[in-house]
Structure 1
Amino acid sequence: MLISNMDIGNEAYTEPATLAPAPIAELNEVSKSFGTVQAVSDMNLSIAQGEFLSFLGPSGCGKTTALRMLAGFETPTTGNVLIDGSDVSSLEPYKRPVNMVFQSYALFPHLTVGRNIGYGLKQRRPKIDQKKINEKVAHALATVRLSGFEDRRIWEMSGGQQQRVALARAIVNEPKLLLLDEPLAALDRKLRKEMQIELQDLQRDLGITFVLVTHDQEEALSLSDRICVMRAGRIVQTGTPQELYDQPNSRYVADFVGTSNFFGGVVDQISGSTGAITLQGGRTYKSPLSGTISVGNDACLSVRPEQIRLHFSQTQERLQGTVLNRIFLGEHTEYLIREERLGNITVLAPRQSDEGLSNLGTGDTVYMDWSPESALILPKD
């Protein structure tokens, strides 16, 4: 019998709510002090199973300390660290379902590649059969595309290959959480980009939760499902790369995630999610708001360089500027332009839209504008 409209008796059937999967790791009210130095303050964070999360921030912001507390190399001064639902705050690193890849790789130079990868397996109790260890090592090497390298010496491997060996050693133990402490910092730019793609592919193939620490915004944007931007021991904003780029909640985040032009002013009016800001020099712009702002507050207008359009003719809305510098970067051209009241403005012109602008040089006059919705009014830091 077919039940119409999911009715059972006189009561309508309600579809059971879908429960969100339990987080694989949590930091609850976690703080860490080193003497009088507060490295991490009141951090609350939930890390989802299978996600690629990054801590992004400048040196000294607390991102590595947060990672080390997840790993067990640091104990929280206050708060709790949970992994897979269990409180591991005081648990030794080797007892946690976690592995870590260090910036220096921390490989044993006197051991072969295979013995480096299998080292952790040989320490397990009860002991694992050597044949089983060899199988796991071979599988880990295949995963990082180094099959057949078992007998190589570490010093015979390139930087990129050593990085893969460090990854293989980390994943061979099948951790629930893989922690990465700036693992690509020692690689050159081209190899770093290649390894970023490999890291992303590896994480998707394995389904392991990756947590990365980096100060490289491009690396965080290209790799992460979510990014935690840190400042002075606190997370100031968490979101997807696109959310952080398009909707930063402060000048600090906008400046750290990508590049932007900032023009100071005063907020004159707020209507819903849109505000009006009057800049130095008297021009008023109506644009979306982000962060906590009230009428009369000092604020800034953030405009990404790629949102600014260049013209040869003047209109009432356009700003007049003088080209200070022009750098051809292949896929786009970067201009540094001086506007009398707003100062230096950076503009990125895609190559396909640069036709006619290629003759612009130092000292030339040019005119600029942008669409109001492409800018953002942010609180003054």
Structure 2
Amino acid sequence: MQSQNDTGAQGQTGDRPLIAEFRAATKRYGAVLAADALSFGIGKGEFLSFLGPSGCGKTTALRMLAGFEVPTSGDVFLDGERVTDVPAYRRPVNMVFQHYALFPHMTVAENIAYGLIQRRPRPDRADVARKVDRALDMVRLSGFGPRRIWEMSGGQQQRVALARAIVNEPKVLLLDEPLAALDRKLRREMQIELQTLQRQLGITFVLVTHDQEEALSMSDRICIMRSGRIVQAGSPLALYDHPINRYVADFVGKSNFIDGVVSAVSPHGGQIETASGFRFEGRVSGVLAKGAKAALSIRPEQIDLAHTVQAGAEPVTVINRIFLGEHTEYLVRHAALGDLLVLVARQAEAAAGGFDPGAAAFVSWKPETALILPQD
């Protein structure tokens, strides 16, 4: 299996020129390896996300880019210049923190202007006021300049933090889980606003998150991280449809996994055999040899749930049902394959009549929708 930590695999930014680049950047904290020889580029105007569980190295990568951490070895470049040893305040980047780090004793306008008035030579007051007003317009907070921070809602405070970051016109804007403290509805609204703002400004956004929905909905490209390395980098669609192993498929969206060994491989796909003797066909990801341990991945929305038996269908028992509005999520149990998650669109469920917990049903899927993946 090809490692996505190779420079070529990580450095694909389409036709965009590079605005930032890691070259074998490694960061150690004593015996702990937080970032392992990261080598990849970030394109100008790109919205890139680092996605992974806690401790995977995503925040370390962001902090090396910001200048808050110096690589133990390797280099970091910004706009073609080596900045490995350049302090954070001298880099053309700004960061929006998870808890915003706003000054409660200052007004909204004073918070936004803070970075501007630290410049030398200091810009004149009229210029500062003009830039602050423009930043407030961009985040839809016109007229809120005189307010105190404690008078603002959580979503408004998040916008103030964004305005304070963009007022300095950075070449790269770094976002360290900036939506984590917001409720689900407001988080979704802010995701749309961040996308719109990024397109308007043309600034490169680099986001760190453990929320896969957040990364999938906003990013041009996502870097899936594990143990300080990038396992796979690509567009949200590419990662969802073509994960290179079980780890990526499990972390990007929901998926069902059936473990087994590869029993056949052909130019058109492959076959996996489970310990209980079941055989399933699917597309093959990467290089898999006959006899290799593998997992069959089927997305919940690709599984058909029916009351009556169909060709190739397997009998199951409905264990649980969760109504999600436009979809209903079913947990079903197969005697040999275990539990499977099935997502049924509301219209399809209405046509089928619905399924009650404890009821018998049948599941099936098309072989071309299943993917045979290497185990991690």
Same fold, judged at TM 0.5 (above) = yes
- In the alignment, is residue 121 of structure 1 matched against residue 116 of structure 2? yes
Match of 1:270 among 265, 282, 286: 265
Which deviates the most, 71-80 or 315-324?
A: 315-324
Q: Which of 193, 198, 221 is 1:198 aligned to?
A: 193
Looking at structure 1, the residues matched to 296 and 197 of structure 2 have their Cα atoms a distance apart, in angstroms, of 40
Runs of 4+ off more than 4 Å: none
2:315 and 2:59 map into 1 onto residues whose CA distance is 45
Match of 2:336 in 1: 341
Partner of 1:289: 284
2:162 to 167, 192, 195: 167
Letter in 2 for 1:272: P
1:210 to 205, 223, 228: 205
Alpha-carbon distance in 2 for matches of 1:270, 1:118: 62
Q: Label 1:127 to 1:365 Cα distance change in 2 as closer, same or farther (>3 A).
A: same
**In structure 2, distance between residues paired with 1:359 and 1:296:** 40
Cα distance in 2 for partners of 1:21, 1:279 equals: 45
Describe how 1:136-285 pairs up with structure 2 within 5 A: 136-272=131-267, 274-285=269-280
Distance 1:358 1:273 in 2: 36
- 1:33 maps to 28
Deviation by residue 1:238-266 (Cα, 9 ceiling, x = unmatched): 01001000000010100000010000111
Structure 2 vs 1, CA of residues 356 and 280 (structure 1 numbering), >3 Å: closer, same or farther?
farther
Paired amino acid for 2:62: L
Give the stretch that moved more between structures: 35-44 or 264-273.
264-273
Structure 1 spans left out of the alignment, 5+ residues: 1-18
CA–CA distance in structure 2, aligned partners of residues 361 and 194 of structure 1: 34
CA distance in 2, matches of 1:374, 1:344: 19
2:301 maps to 306
Provide the residue aligned with 1:81 in structure 2: 76
Change (3 A) 1:166 1:273: farther
**Residue 319 (str. 1) matches residue 292 (str. 2):** no
CA gap 1:380/1:97 in 2 versus in 1, 3 angstroms: same
Distance 1:359 1:40 in 2: 48
Cα distance between partner residues in 2 of 1:95 and 1:66: 18
Residue 315 of structure 1: how far off its partner (Å): 3.7
Residue 9 (structure 1) aligns with = none
Identity %: 61
Backbone CA RMSD of aligned residues: 1.2
Task: Show the counterpart of 2:371.
Answer: 376
Amino acid at match of 1:189: R
Task: Give the CA deviation at 1:22.
Answer: 2.6
Letter in 1 for 2:160: V
Distance in 2 (CA, whole Å) between partners of 1:181 and 1:226 is: 16
Match of 2:355 in 1: 360
* 2:96 aligned residue (88, 101, 116): 101
TM-score by length of 1: 0.93
The answer for the alignment partner of 2:67 in structure 1 is 72
1:20 CA displacement: 4.3
Q: Which residue number in structure 2 is paired with residue 5 of structure 1?
A: none
Query: Which residue pairs with 2:7 in the alignment?
Result: none
CA separation of 1:166 and 1:54: change in aligned 2, threshold 3 A:
same
CA contact (8 A) 1:280 1:342 kept: no
Between stretches 53-62 and 288-297, larger displacement belongs to 288-297
SS at 2:18's partner residue? Answer: coil
Q: 1:55 aligns with which of 44, 50, 61?
A: 50
2:10 aligns with none
CA 1:30/1:201 → structure 2, altered by over 3 Å: closer, same or farther? same
Deviation of 1:21 (Å)? 4.3
What is the CA-CA distance between 1:295 and the residue it aligns to?
Answer: 1.0
AA matched with 1:73:
F
What secondary structure sits across from 2:37 in the alignment? strand
The AA in structure 1 aligned to 2:375 is K
For 1:165, the aligned partner's letter is V
Cα deviation, residue 145, structure 1: 0.6
What's the offset of the Cα at 1:314? 1.8
Cα deviation, residue 86, structure 1:
0.2
The alpha carbon displacement at 1:136 in A equals 0.4
User: What amino acid does structure 2 have at the position aligned with 1:167?
Assistant: L
SS of aligned partner of 2:112: helix
> Tell me, which stretches of 5 or more residues in structure 2 are unaligned?
1-13
Task: Indicate the structure (1 or 2) with the bigger Cα radius of gyration.
Answer: 1
For these two proteins, the number of residue pairs brought into alignment is 363
Q: Could you tell me how far apart the structure 1 residues matched to 2:15 and 2:356 are?
A: 56
Q: Distance in 2 between matches of 1:58 and 1:273?
A: 34
Q: Conserved in 2, the CA contact under 8 Å of 1:48 and 1:209? A: yes
CA 1:63/1:147 → structure 2, altered by over 3 Å: closer, same or farther? Answer: same
TM-score by length of 2: 0.95
8 Å CA contact 1:32, 1:41 repeated in 2: yes
